[in-house]
Amino acid sequence: MKTFLPAPARLAAAFVAAALLSVSLAHAQERRERREHERERFQTPHWVFDDRFHHNHYYPAVGYAVDVLPAGNVVVNFRSGRFWFHSGVWFQQAGPRYVVVRPPVGVLVPVLPPAYSTVYVAGVPYYYANDVYYLQQPGGYAVAEPPMVASQNPPPPAAAPGSAAPPSSPGTWYYCASAKAYYPYVAECKEGWRSVPATPPQAR
């Protein structure tokens, strides 16, 4: 059975739908304008768009200078130099201004930048942000040499000890207590194989 709304209810529903559509269109237009503004702001030689490892992040290019450091920066003393670190960007003072620099290998920061990607090299996690790689160290994260090959795929989990097939050894049998059977009649043993001397059955 169809339900018919009275005319005032239909008008109210149409009004609500039109208002929601208007708000949705206004938000879409606002998002387009924001993207255009960012594109105009960042499409200069002073900004870099980094999409490596799905980083998808803008950051100021090395050599870009500012008069005032951003609020919330961290002062890092390393060897004979002083650096200022903020959101993955490294600064050093040059006269009255602060210039974006590439950090030296080994310099340590207490926290990672807010925008970073985790990549793996030979199973070791590296943290990538703004064309800089970090390795976790006691007390923070140290700038590392760029690895030769990096992947965002985590390493495969290690097999439980003893779960795989045992090594083949002449004169030795392998028994699994939980399965109450010998290899190869069972292929895996969660608690680990027990090697026992091979003893042929006694002739009667």
Mean pLDDT for the stretch of residues 127-154: 83
Predicted pLDDT at 97: 95
Please say if the pLDDT value at position 158 is more than 50. no
Q: What is the distance between the alpha carbons of residues 67 and 46, in angstroms, rounded to a whole number?
A: 15
On whether the CB atoms of residues 28 and 35 are closer than 8 A, the answer is no
| CB burial of residue 184 (10 Å; 0-12, 13-18, 19+) | exposed
Predicted pLDDT at 180: 76
Q: What is the pTM of this model?
A: 0.53
Mean pLDDT for the stretch of residues 81-101: 94
Please say if the pLDDT value at position 42 is more than 70. no
- Residue 26 binned pLDDT confidence (cut-offs 50, 70, 90): low
Backbone conformation region of residue 24, classed left if phi is above 0, alpha if psi is from -120 to 50, else beta: alpha
191 or 114, which is more confident: 114
Lowest-confidence segment of 79-93, 112-126, 135-149, 184-198 by average pLDDT: 184-198
- What does the DSSP assignment read for 22-54? HHHHHHHHHHHHHHHHHHHHH-STTEEEE-GGG
Please say if the pLDDT value at position 204 is more than 60. no
Neighbours of 37 (CB within 10 A): 10
Q: What is the distance between the alpha carbons of residues 7 and 15, in angstroms, rounded to a whole number?
A: 12
